[in-house]
Amino acid sequence: MQHNFAENKSELKFTLEAMTKCAADCAGCGLPPEVKARQNFWTPEQLQKVSKFINLYVQVMKEKINLSQVNITLGQGDFFQLKEKEVRSVMDFLNYIEHKHLSTFITASAITNYEFMKKSVDFFHGLSIENQKALLVEIVLDSSKLMDDRMNALYKKNISYIVEKFGLIEFAINVGEDTLKNITPKSLHDFMLENSLPFIAVNSIVSKYNQEQMKNSWTGIIDWLKGVVEHNQQNYNVEFSTLFTRKLDINQSYVSSLQNDLYKISDLLRREIFISHDGDIAFQQNGLGAVGLSSRNGFSDLMNIFNSEFDLDDIRRVVDKYSVTVSKKIFSEFTKHDSCAECQYRPICHTSAIAPLISTLANEKDMDSSCPVGIKSLIEKIETNKNFYHGKGLIYAQKDFASQSLCIDDLEAIKYKNCNENIDLGVFKAN
């Protein structure tokens, strides 16, 4: 039986490593140090190539699925540090995307001087109104600064101004060895409650650039993540849990077979694309953060759009051929470990960015005899903690564009809806 649970999903996601300047300094950051050191933003020419790629990709996928939503995350640095002419080029880029239901996230650090940030937020906000482009802001919290009294006060002031201008914002924390020293799961929990924050994305990205450091602290990171699960008593959403838990639900009716597994993996892969700062294209999965399956973590980049010309046939090759090739590579990572062979969570792991963790972290001798990357105990913790909240409905919109609100029902399926009747921007709304 071909299991088609993914066919109801109708959005495409593009994660763009467009901006590399950021005042935060997280060990669990997905940016390679050499790329972060450039501290720059894509040129107008590069943005034009990216928009051309997205438009062609959308065109190809419209032949395959009933596409309703295109979701673009402009990351990974601090967009409120862009120069004014660069902000204009962001708007030109968004205007060039040919899909009417477009949701755009921009990342920020909220660490800069208040007056500087306020001016930048005002400029971004003004241009978004002028161009009729709603922006959803994601603040990445730096754990070292979160626990510093002076920085904590600046965070609060900056965040409250961004909320005043844009409405509800999303929070994220990159977990690495520094997080274990800087903040306990209880302190993060208290910060969420004190500030009435509705949502936090918990990321821990491992690549060849940080694998040695992450290997040494991985057991501690898994314990830290379990602590996050333990403390949350239905107070707010934690993104990694929602992804796993939703897939656990799916798992109950899912019949695993080689054909079903490969189909499921490739069908989800082609709906998410990562574009590196150098223009390398990779498929993306979500687990402990959004992870591009690229040359940074044991996979291969699919093509480069900055150094070569491309057309519809090249995109069709990515969608039809490479999605199957990469699925097989993902599948094969799990066959290398006896503990995965009989594991009930394997269908979840196939689609939750665990394969790049295996390729970067797993030793010949498994770090945990029951799981090559120790993730099993985290999934069990999520599954057994009945008070851990997931699946709350969340309404996102830039305040000025309430009629174009995004309703995030389960945080994996982002849908456009008309939320006018019950919209309460800036306030968490439970289902």
* Residues of this chain that bind ligand SF4 (CB under 6 A): 334, 339-340, 343, 345-346, 349, 354, 371-373, 375-376, 379
The residue (of 244 and 388) whose beta carbon lies closer to ligand SF4 is 244
| Token pair belonging to 204 | 């821990």
The residue (of 26 and 326) whose beta carbon lies closer to ligand SF4 is 326
The residue (of 208 and 336) whose beta carbon lies closer to ligand SF4 is 336
CB of 131 to ligand SF4, least distance (A): 44
CB of 391 to ligand SF4, least distance (A): 21
CB of 135 to ligand SF4, least distance (A): 36
96 — alpha (psi -120 to 50), left (phi > 0) or beta?
alpha
Beta strands 11-19 and 272-275 are parallel
Residue 125 CA to residue 167 CA, distance in Å, equals 11
Per-residue b or e along 60-91, where b marks 16 or more CB atoms closer than 10 Å to that residue's CB = bbeeebebebbbbbbbbbbbbbbeeebbebbb
| Token pair belonging to 5 | 């649970």
The residue (of 354 and 425) whose beta carbon lies closer to ligand SF4 is 354
The residue (of 92 and 380) whose beta carbon lies closer to ligand SF4 is 380
CB of 346 to ligand SF4, least distance (A): 4
The residue behind tokens 């057991």 is 219
Name which of 249, 239, 290, 240 is nearest 268 in CA terms. 290
Name which of 194, 201, 187 is nearest 107 in CA terms. 201
CB of 418 to ligand SF4, least distance (A): 39
The percent helix, strand, coil of the chain (3-state, each to 5) is 45, 15, 35
CB of 3 to ligand SF4, least distance (A): 18
The residue (of 119 and 336) whose beta carbon lies closer to ligand SF4 is 336
Is the separation of the CB atoms in 388 and 248 below 8 Å?
A: no
Strand runs labelled E in 255-413: 272-275, 280-287, 289-292, 303-304, 394-396, 406-408
CB of 96 to ligand SF4, least distance (A): 40
3-state secondary structure of 368: strand
The residue (of 39 and 370) whose beta carbon lies closer to ligand SF4 is 370
